Amino acid sequence: MTRAGVAELSRTAGDDHERLARVWLGVRTEPGDLAVARLLVDVGAEEAVARLAAGRGPAQTVAPVRPDREPGTTAARVLESASRQGLRWVCPGDDEWPARLHDLSLVGDVARRGGTPAGLWARGPRAAAEKGRMAVAVVGARASTEYGNEVAGEIAAELAEAGVSVISGAAYGIDAAAHRGALAVRGPTAAVLACGVDVAYPRGHDAMLARIAEQGIILSEAPPGDHPTKVRFLARNRLIAALADAVVVVEAAWRSGALNTLLWAGELQRPACGVPGPVTSALSRGVHHVLREHRAELVTNAAEVIELIAPLGSAPLPGASGWNRGERRPLDGLDPMTVAVREALPVDGAAGVDLLAAEVGLNQTQALAVLGRLLALGLAERNGAGWRLPRRGGLSGGQVDRTLPT
């Protein structure tokens, strides 16, 4: 951005340069463009816009970024137009912003797609309520079977009834069954789209999307009005995985986008789950494949999914509230495996989940569940991509930061 450009942005945005710069990035760059995401992390939103709008951005962007002499005006115009439609921009600094999306900046990419989005467009009332709520992605084949739809709907309904938000992609098949399962019990559900949040895609889901926008929330990285492209679906899948505490695949053929979402879950150290089906069904082949490779846990119902993530979302365990008032020893009442994991945590630096899991003889999903419990109890702490003992040891009570990674 030229100095004039920066000035223009400042003039337009008042104090909210950062926010407007992020809108511009969301509008003028391709969703999931890793080069843009890295630039954003490296130099901040305003400088990123300054460079990209002046044609001085990284060469490796997925699509060329058109220079823009008045980025502030561009961003303000889109924002205003979106606002008239009842759509809003959610980005870091906003209450609604799901901080767990930042995990995307810690992991790799898939075909140069990846990274934390500059922000998300949102439609619907739920975003604030979703924050801090447990969320599970339920995804799968478009050409699903009756069995798959039934199981996805059932699992989603049970999750929603338990207060867990059901995230999916609003596609035909399993996605729709999942959203509908949550809607049916008036539960929370979030649709993450590859098109603008105001675009009815697929067409046949116009009414369903309208209900989600009333009862839940629709989110997208793509600007309002934009249509989906094949690569945007892939970029979108990373958001579904990053927004969720766990990803459940219900049916997936041999090569399937749903498995791509599962891959992202693995990258992000979210539990990846697969629901088996008849081995005679082609629609279960992809799921069985990842189960066979131990890239996902076999689950058969919502309770088994919640078991994998509950410790991360729950308050200190019942009966455990006393410890931080000095009434009980912090390790009292912990099962031996939880104690073992805590003992494996380093005092300095960070140990990855894989390492900790190997040390105590758990698989990664199990280890993650135990770490979540320790985190909730203030007995473990995240450090970058890894885990360590809390700096204050978690023994001193009130000082312990019990914030969950989100």
Q: Which residues bind its own copies (CB under 8 A)?
A: 147, 150-151, 275-280, 284-285, 288, 291-294, 297-301, 304, 363, 385
Q: Which amino acid is at 336?
A: P
Q: Which amino acid is at 240?
A: I
| First-to-final CA distance of the chain | 33
Least distance to its own copies, CB of residue 296, Å:
10
Using the minimum distance from each CB to its own copies, give the nearer residue, 182 or 287: 287
Least distance to its own copies, CB of residue 273, Å:
10
Using the minimum distance from each CB to its own copies, give the nearer residue, 94 or 154: 154
> Is residue 198 within 8 Å of 123, Cβ to Cβ?
yes
Least distance to its own copies, CB of residue 124, Å:
31
Using the minimum distance from each CB to its own copies, give the nearer residue, 352 or 393: 352
Q: In angstroms, rounded to a whole number, what is the distance separating the alpha carbons of residues 386 and 354? A: 10
Using the minimum distance from each CB to its own copies, give the nearer residue, 16 or 161: 161
DSSP secondary-structure letter at 110? Answer: B
Using the minimum distance from each CB to its own copies, give the nearer residue, 184 or 385: 385
Least distance to its own copies, CB of residue 159, Å:
15
Least distance to its own copies, CB of residue 272, Å:
14
Element (H, E) at 166: strand 165-168
Other beta carbons within 10 Å of 331: 15
Q: In angstroms, rounded to a whole number, what is the distance separating the alpha carbons of residues 205 and 201? A: 7
Using the minimum distance from each CB to its own copies, give the nearer residue, 45 or 155: 155
> Is residue 36 within 8 Å of 52, Cβ to Cβ?
yes
Using the minimum distance from each CB to its own copies, give the nearer residue, 324 or 366: 366
Using the minimum distance from each CB to its own copies, give the nearer residue, 109 or 304: 304
Using the minimum distance from each CB to its own copies, give the nearer residue, 186 or 294: 294
Least distance to its own copies, CB of residue 284, Å:
8
Using the minimum distance from each CB to its own copies, give the nearer residue, 83 or 300: 300
Least distance to its own copies, CB of residue 150, Å:
7
Other beta carbons within 10 Å of 76: 18
CA–centroid distance for 256 within its chain: 19
Least distance to its own copies, CB of residue 385, Å:
8
Least distance to its own copies, CB of residue 362, Å:
11
Range 12-18, long-range pairs (CB < 8 A, 24+ positions): 12/72, 12/73, 12/75, 12/76, 13/72, 13/75, 13/76, 17/45, 17/46, 18/44, 18/45, 18/46, 18/93
Maximum pairwise Cα distance, the chain: 64
DSSP secondary-structure letter at 160? Answer: H
- Per DSSP, helices labelled H in 274-352 are 285-292, 302-313, 336-344
Alpha-carbon torsion 65, 71, 77, 80, what sign?
A: positive
Least distance to its own copies, CB of residue 276, Å:
3
Q: In angstroms, rounded to a whole number, what is the distance separating the alpha carbons of residues 101 and 371? A: 20
